[in-house]
Structure 1
Amino acid sequence: MTPAIEAIYRSESRRVLATLIRLLGDFDLAEEALHEAFFVAVERWPQDGVPQNPRAWLVSTGRFKAIDRLRRQARFTPLLQAQADALQAQDWSEEDVEDDRLRLIFTCCHPALAPDAQAALTLREICDLTTEEIARAFLATPTTIAQRIVRAKGKIREAKIPYQVPSLAELPERLDSVLRVVYLVFNEGYSASMGADLTREELTREAIRLGRLLLELLPEPEVMGLLALMLLHESRRAARTSASGELVLLNEQDRALWDASLMAEGCALVERALALRGYGPYCLQAAIAAVHAEALDAGQTDWLQIVGLYDVLLRQVPSPVIELNRAVAVAMWQGPLAGLDLVEGILQRGDLLDYHLAYSARGEFCRQLGRVEAARTAYEKALSLTQQAPEKRFLEQRLAELKH
């Protein structure tokens, strides 16, 4: 595959797949059609040149390949001939190539599907994550994730779940699962669960794009809050790693590298959302991110306000991960001993025992307190749990520093 075709695959394959699912009405058939279309592109484009509208070309080619496949199989399954004839008779042209991913995400997040299946299917079909990557995000086995995806596709097919954006009347009750999955997509891009890079910009960009589309559909506080939260986090991307790709902690980041336009847009959305009734966890998390954004440097951060926001958030959504984040804020406000006591309490009751960031925080607090052996043990445990190369190098650096 040439670099040009690889670039088109990265930018267009999920859009093409979403449209093929709409046209063909079947996930598996659409995926086969997508792969066949790119196979033809690899054969033809180097000689014929890349089409003026590659997305439309790929959709058209994939559609015809699917029809041909159904007709070949119709010799053994006669009902497929009728399906092929219906597809052939579709009123479709190359101009009929719209961005169908919002339709697809509502289909993947239909309430008839279990929440874990919704998320797995969305990450696979919308974001092109492998089953191994999804399994890491869910702390599950690839086999388990593959089974969830197969069952979800079967449920969509058997229940004839419509491939459409819900009506305005249906949107509010369908929104929670979609927001959860969009944020999951963003998080996988903002802090990849595994691999050589800390971030996957194509995923954060896609999640923000979906957030903007959702806000156009339903300008409610939590939609504003989620979009604001993603924008504020994304504004820090350039400062999160060094020029050599090493992890840079928030309080050590060069804030001149933060994207001022994204920060301004995010903060404005937070203000709009908090002025309305019905704000929830996404708005509160965005408000915390906005406090960070408004501080000129780490030393001027209003940690008391951040702790207070975490207190409100915990009342709405009790979660050991949120408790851990609050513990870090408490440590910045009251010192490492206060933070360590909170982290120890979380771990002692059996929460976050497989979560590398809990041990990383414990190690950091112990290091600051001069408890070298305890810090070393905590960092080693965190190192054994992370699958991400920059985080591994960061923890290895911390361990090396303890020897001096």
Structure 2
Amino acid sequence: MSTAAATPALALISDRINALEAPQTIEMAKKARALAAQGVDVISLSFGEPDFQTPQYIKDAAKQAIDEGFTFYTPVPGIPELRQAICDKLKRDNNLDYKPENIVVGTGAKQALANAVLALVNPGDEVIIFSPFWVSYEEMVKLAEGVTIRLEGTLDNDYKATAAQLEAAITPRTKLVMYSSPCNPTGAVWSREELGAIAEVLARHPQVLVVADEIYEYINFVGEHASLAQFAAVKDQVVTVNGFSKGYAMTGWRIGYLAARPEIAAACEKLQSQITSATCSITQRAGLAALQGGRSSADEMVAAYRRRRDLVLGLVKDIPGFKTPTPDGAFYIFPDVSAYFGKTTADGATIGTANDLAMYLLNDAHVAAVDGAAFGAPQCLRFSTATADEKLAEAFRRVKESLARLR
């Protein structure tokens, strides 16, 4: 046997990778697919992916780019016309004034987030994350060797962390704040007034930077979206991240972007140039067409998401023990399910955690949800509502019946 073969597997892998957790959203999706491959009728509500097709005019632009031979490397931060279109969009939708030099286009909003964290955080820096949070935030901070400080919102406030909490959490070691609005997983939306109060706190701490994740911007059920960078006093402290996957149903195209002051954008471009370089040239032309086409297709999808949200909220009201805030955006519900902890299944197993409950529902009801611990809320489960109405109705019928069998 060779020395390499005799070496324990974990010892072969770097400490930074061994320290990472696999995203629970992806892990649960794998388990659901494995069960479905056995012929089981699984309804997967685990993945945050629109079930709509990318609008045809965007597909047509990609086909045209291919036919025109637009198949070569592009500038690392994106083609100039796309970066200008992003500036135009930020002005139109968010009242933000940026130039192309402020924009870096990447392979999805996830890469934009990672670029920002790795470009800004030094080992030992504290990163305040509004909790519940998207599963990858903490893992990105781990890669940068930073220290995560969770700022936990309460159920009574729709899980939204407050300006007062932020003020109390900032220390001399604080380097960065991260949050999403609309929020994945809760669907919470911070109002302009709430963000204004947060901006007042940040203005008193100009050394603290913020990554504002706005990928669900268009999926908003309460009116105008507010961006933290709209507040002039803190604009230069904010890195705004957005993309095309949710609002334009372009998940597989892998395109997102960030907007930041020039030196931060340049640092992110420098990092990206050593890892992936520019994202796909064809995808960039598709993204340009998406922005030039406005948001009418997004608004049509949002009307469906609102209907589905209301449908699901009506269904879960009839499920005892679910404490479910009303999401104001995104396409999830995030109920507190701790009332089921301590209950037992028909074969005598005890439900001790939300992950136990998620596995029970997968195997008994054949409905896939995600453990809230992955999002910083171990008392919760996340269910995606981005699927057809009839599937949602059937899924929560199964969930209700399955939970009723617990004792």
Would you say same fold, with TM above 0.5? no
TM-score (norm 2): 0.23
Specify the structure having the higher radius of gyration (Cα): 1
Of Structure 1 and Structure 2, which has the larger fraction of its residues in helix?
1
Question: Which is strand-richer, 1 or 2?
Answer: 2
Which structure is richer in relative contact order (CA contacts within 8 A, separation 6 or more)? 2
